[in-house]
Structure formats: structure tokens, C-alpha cells
Structure 1
């Protein structure tokens, strides 16, 4: 704002100067040609108005720009992310970074790293301890962030990274080495790249081998290899794109239950099968398995007449592939996806003993699975599987505290609507089982306020029904009645036949809030028995509300 005031001052000073000049002309020329005088006055005022417009716009833009820069610089989110990164460093990585900072005489950076890692201090307190001003502090923080990034990047060095460096150095080899040596080097590089299945880099090798053999009979051979790998590279890219698109669409299908969305998933699954069949490629087979296993569990369940490869055999084959290509970084990370798929497979067919073998590993990595693996699977389903397991084992009371540790640094993507909804509803249900009804209501209210769920009416009434239960337990009857009326209006639009379980769920709460006290508990149990047999959509969190004796007593006010 100071800049705006400053420029306005300049404008008014200039205006005052112009007025002085006009008065001077008036005095000098008052006996002369008035037309000339009026022209002069008009010219000065025209110039003043133009300059005033220019300076005002410039001042406003400059002020806005400065505010934006200051806001970006002081955003707490950036600070929080740096703290999260530092806290997630392993002990060895932390000590290595700290020692390197000390050795390079960056003592204040080392102290900043230590404070963020070991102490819960505010920015102002850290600045005070480091004896730096605001500008120096943010510069220090920026440098520390850069140091950490450089260290982590260096830790990624691997045989695969060395290969990529060699590929980047191909041009240098061609121009500085004899042709025979260059060809021998490229052929060796070809074999190494084939071991890692690096199709993109292989195209570069074949392109150069083709050029080096332009005067020999092998030119055609390498031209064919080049063309084949270009096509294969495009097939792999397409498979990866289809995989990501499939799980994005699955999220929509899970929320809506729409048959059109289901048809889209079936078509994508068929197309992935066709692409995978084009090549004898273990990578395409792995990508196809990511999709087909999930598809057969949650979209089109296997029928006795289907002549399909058993899912267990697919999972076993993928495990062998991973064992054969241990240095492949993509496969290294996809191991978690297939651990998750094994868990889902055994849980789906109620082979709980085998499912338990995979549960702990997946659960420990659940935050990473939810945030980083949405391109290769649908991790939100794990939250439902986890709720089913805890209800089956009567461990739902432990979820709230466990979440505090598991999701301490979890950052969900607001744009991934399916994941966002599933995560928030999961957290709300966990709060409910911890008897924190107010907190559960806050999670759900924030969700309904943050997102427009018009596209997912069935999901909306599911969420609102759980929220209504929280209001009922909190004795917030005005809010409860408003919400119940809203849900009932939506049910009338959607049709009662598709919402029978919600109608029963609402009926339980109406019985609980009715003035009649006679046989409330018995009536609630009778209605609850009817809910369990109802077929539901994939996203149906009300089924995780266990209508047991504890809830019945709470509803009846006992």
C-alpha cells in the first residue's frame, strides 16, 4: 500500500506543477489570444489525466505483485513441507546431511536442520535462537532445502542411473571414438538396456547403431529394431496412460455406481489386454495384471464359465518377474501394489488367514500407498478393507490412535475426489468409534462444504446419513432434523428402491429420536436386521456403522 500512496503523491505533485504553469500562462497571456490559452490548458490536463491513469495502474500492479511475493515467501505450507521432509529422513540420511553441513562450515543451516528434526519450535523462536532476521531465515531455509534435495538425488545413484548417464554420453562416443569402438560400446549398452527393459533409451541406441551401419548390410537390421522399439515404447506409454485412466474412472464408478462408468472400465480393461498381447513383454504383462486383477475383483467377478487365468497364478507370475528384475526401480515400487492386490484378493474371497500375511506391510505403508500409487491401483479401497477387518476382529476402537501415527504427515490431493471422499469418511468413522462424534461431524461437514457432490447423489446421501448419526448422538436435534429432511428429499428424487438401506438407517435414528419410549431397542434391532441383506454400491460407508448393543443403548439414551 505504501507504494500506491507514494505514486499518488507523485501524481498530485505533478498536477500541482501543471496548475502552476497554467496560471503562469494565464497571467502572461491574459491579454493575448484566448484560443491559444485554452488549447494549452486542455493539453496540460490531458497529459495529467493520462499520467495519472498510468501511475495508478502501475502502483496497483506493483503493490499486488509485492504482496504476492511476500505471501509466497511466508506461506506456512512451505515451512510445513520442509519440516515433514526432514522428519521423514532416515537416521543415517539425517546424520549424513548434518555432518556435511558442519564440515562445510554451514553451522546455522546445521542448527536449523537440528531444530526442525528434534524440536517443536515456531519460526519466530528458531529465528531468535539462530540470531537471524526474517530475510536471512528464509534464505537459510531455502539453502537447507536445496542441500537436502541434492543429497537425496545423489542417493538415487544406481546401476540404472549409470546406464542413463552412458546413454546421455552416446554423442560424445560417436564423435571421439573410432567407429569399431563406438559400435562395440553401443552393443554392450544395448545388452545392458535390454536387461533393464529401458525401451526409451534403447531407441536412442538403435538410432545411432542404424546410422553407424549406413554403409553396411546391418543397416536394415538396426532400422527394424529401431522401428520395433519405437512402437513398443509407444505401447508402454499407452499402457501406463490407460492404467492411470482406468483407476481414475474406477473412482467415479465407485462413487456413482453408474453403468456407463462400468462400461468404460470394461472397455479399458479389454483394450489393455489387446495392447499387452501385441508384445512378449513382461512390463506390459505387469501393467495388465495391475488392472485385470482389480477389475476381476470389483467390476466383473469371475464366472465358472470364464476361461481366464487364475488370479493366484497371475500374482505368482508377477512375483517371479520382480525377482528376475531386482534392479528395476519401477518393479521395486510396484511390489507394494501387488502386496495390496494379494490382500484384496484374499479378503475378497474371505481367505482371511492368508490376507493377514499382507495386511501389516500394506497398513504400515498405507499413507504412501494412498498418496503415491494412484496411477497404478485404487488405494482408497484399502481403507474400506481395513474397516471391514477391524469390525470383523472387533478392533475398531484402536483405529483413531493408529491413524494419528499412520497419517501424521499424510497430504491428500483435493483434486483426487474419490480418494479425498474415502479418506475423510474413513477418518470420520474412526472418530465415531472413538466416541468423538463432534470431530467426526467436523470431518464430514468440511467435506460437504469443500466439494460439490451433485454428480454423486448416492455418495452424498451415504455421507449425510453418517453425519446425521453424529448429530443424533450429539443431541443436536435441529441440525439432525434439517439433515434428515434433506436426505429424504434426495431419496424421493433417486427412488426408494435404490436407497432401501439408507431408508432403514434413517428409520433407526427416527425411532431413537421419537418421543415414544416403548420397546425402542427392540424396534431398532428389527430394522437393523433388514439392512445387512441389502445389496449396496461400492461406496457405502453406512455398512461400516455397526449397529450393536453399544449403539442401541446410546440411541435409546440408556
Structure 2
């Protein structure tokens, strides 16, 4: 019986890391088959938990389950309805970490309860609670980042910070930890999802700090370092974001080059990339010479058309917020770099 239990714990651990790898893959592809694999792994984890009374299995399953809910669950009401359940599960998890305080694995991941609560409350737009957990995380970040085990959790934390920014609009809050994270984290290119997600976060930070050439450079370097052929969705998203920087900077030639490449890429699966096509249309209008007032009206209309069509789990550039000032800058042919 004990041997079966030990094998069960090992199997759950393997499934858990497979789940983490697979959820990164899903983030990059937005593919239905990757999404299905995730729910299959989660079901398997759940079955083991029901079979054995094990705190280790409880921890693995619930970390996976909460990330699944926060990343894959589209319905905000469903998420909100799970608040008490999630709070209780994470309270129990904290108790396990305290009880087994000599367990090095638990000590290395005990920061996760705050990370998961921050992510959950950001997703459900409960900003007071999200802010509370962000305050708790800030002093811990230097110790968390160097651990290889924490790379997935850190990039998910950064994704949640971008989501929070889209509501509160505070650039200072978005970037306040960037230099400390940069000093302490070392993500290998072989960790494809972590590497791409971290570079994207840095580029998004530059963009909202109005360092458009910095944002373009980060994305361009990443695309030169990595082959993104397997991750069409992310490749298209990164190219669109890079093209936007060139458009803002008045680098029309570079922007047009990327647009041509994107159109070729999208052609075989056009129906999946309706919003990407609308964003290309928006960029092309911004590049075309026209009378300023007529042009700004058209650019605004096309931005609105893109924003309205760009919903659901295949939404592209969900981190993009353009204010009136940026729209004017995109439209105005006399651009200051």
C-alpha cells in the first residue's frame, strides 16, 4: 500500500509539471487541442486526490486548478462564484506549508498563496484585494526570482500585473519591480514560454513608458533569437505589436515590411485571425497620407472596430490600451521620435 502511495505521489508530481509546461504552451498557441490536454491532466490530478489522502497531492492539484481557472476560464461570473472556495483552499495550503516547515519544496513555494490570490483578485477585478496581495509580494520578489522553480509563477504574476494596469492605468505600479526582477531572474531560452512571456512583459512596460523604440527592439531581438513557427498566434501578436511601435515612430518602411509578412502568415487561416486583419487595416490607414481630420476620424473608427471584434480567448494584443494622445500620434505624419 505504501509503495502504491509513493508511486502515486511521484505520478502526481510528474503530471503537475506536465500541466505547467502545457499551460505555457496553451498561452502561446491558444489552441483548442492544448486546452483539452490541460483539462485531461487536471482530471487525472483530481482522480489521484480522491484516491489518496495526501497533503502533497492536495497542494499540486489545487495550484494547477487555480491557475487553470485564472488562465482558461473565460466567464468572470464563474470565477467570482469560487471566491470562498479558493480562499479556503489557499488557507489550508498555507497551513500545510506552516505544518511541514522543514519540507524544502514547501518552503520554496510558500509565496504562491499570495501570488495566486493576487492573480485571482486581478482576474475578478477586486482591486482592493489585489492591491493588498501585491503589497505582500513586493518585499519578497528578490528572493523568489532566482529560483528556477519559480519562473512560471513569476511570469504569470507579471501577466496579472499587466491586467491590473489595464484597469488602474498606473504605469508606476506596472513597472515598479522591473529592475529588481531583471537583476534576480535568469530565464533560459529553452524555457520557451517563460522566455517569451518575460520579454513581452518588458516590451509592454517600455510601450507604456512611451519608449517605443525600446519596445520594438525587445520584440525584434526575441524574434531573431527564437523560432516561433510552432506558436503562430504569439508570433502574429508580437509582429503586430512591433509594427505598431514602428508606426508610432514614423518608421513606415519597417512597419509596411512587417504588415506584408503578417498578411502572408495569416492567409492560410484567415477566419481565425479576424481581429489581426482588422488591426492591420488600422495600421495601414495610419500609414496612408490623408487630410488630418478625416484621417483621425477613420483611425478612431478602425480602432473601435478592432476593439469590438477582439474578444474571447482568441483576443490578440489584449494588453493594448490606446488613449487619445497615442491615437493622434499614430495618425500624425510629422512624428517626433
Q: TM-score, normalised by structure 2?
A: 0.87
Deviation digits for residues 386-410 of structure 1 (CA, Å, limit 9, x no counterpart): 1122232222256556422331232
Q: 125, 128, 149: which one pairs with 1:353?
A: 128
Q: Give the equivalent residue in structure 1 for 2:88.
A: 313
The question of 1:232 aligning with 2:8 is answered no
Matched with 2:282 is 508
Higher relative contact order (CA 8 A, sep 6+): 2
Among 64, 68, 73, which residue is 1:295 paired with?
68
Q: How far, CA to CA, are the matches of 1:506 and 1:368 in structure 2?
A: 42
Give 3-state SS (helix, strand or coil) of 2:210's partner: coil
- Which sits farther off after the overlay, 311-320 or 248-257? 311-320
Matched with 1:326 is: 101
Which of 196, 220, 224 is equivalent to 1:445?
220
Measure, in 1, the Cα distance between the counterparts of 2:283 and 2:138. 33
Count of equivalent residues: 327
1:524–1:552: 8 Å Cα contact kept in structure 2?
yes
Deviation sequence 1:435-480 (CA, Å, 0-9, x none) = 2222222111111111111111111110001110111122222211
Bigger Cα displacement from structure 2, 475-484 vs 243-252? 475-484
Q: Does the CA-based 8 Å contact 2:119-2:130 persist in structure 1?
A: yes
Cα 1:407–1:331 change in 2 (3 A) is same
Larger Rg: 1
Alignment check: 8 A CA contact 1:337 1:376 kept: no
Moved over 4 A (4+): 300-304, 363-371, 373-378, 397-402
**Is it true that 1:245 corresponds to 2:18 in the alignment?**
yes
Give the stretch that moved more between structures: 450-459 or 393-402.
393-402
After TM superposition, give the deviation of residue 326 of structure 1 in Å: 3.3
Q: Pick closer, same or farther for the CA change 1:379–1:538 going to 2, 3 Å.
A: farther
- Give unpaired runs (5+ residues) of structure 2: none
1:198-234 Cα offsets, whole Å, 9 max, x none, are xxxxxxxxxxxxxxxxxxxxxxxxxxxxxx3332222
CA contact (8 A) 2:299 2:331 kept: no
Distance in 2, Cα, partners of 1:362 & 1:377: 16
> Is the Cα–Cα contact under 8 Å of residues 431 and 439 in structure 1 kept in the other structure?
yes
Aligned twin of 2:113: 338
Tell me, in whole angstroms, the C-alpha distance in 2 between the residues paired with 1:489 and 1:260: 24
| 1:129-152 Cα deviation digits (max 9, x unpaired) | xxxxxxxxxxxxxxxxxxxxxxxx
Partner residue in 1 for 2:272: 498
Q: Is the Cα contact below 8 Å between 1:504 and 1:531 reproduced in 2?
A: yes
Is contact 1:397-1:433 (8 Å) kept?
Answer: no
1:281 aligns with 54
> Are 1:461 and 2:239 an aligned pair?
no
Change (3 A) 1:510 1:537: same
Where in structure 2 are the equivalents of 1:136-215 lying within 5 Å? Answer: none
Q: Which residue among 247, 256, 277 is the counterpart of 2:29?
A: 256
- Name which of structure 1's ranges 522-531 and 345-354 shifts more when overlaid on structure 2: 522-531
Partners in 1 of 2:176 and 2:62 — Cα distance? 35
Residue matched to 1:269: 42
- Determine whether 1:522 maps to 2:297: yes
The normalised TM-score by structure 1 is: 0.54
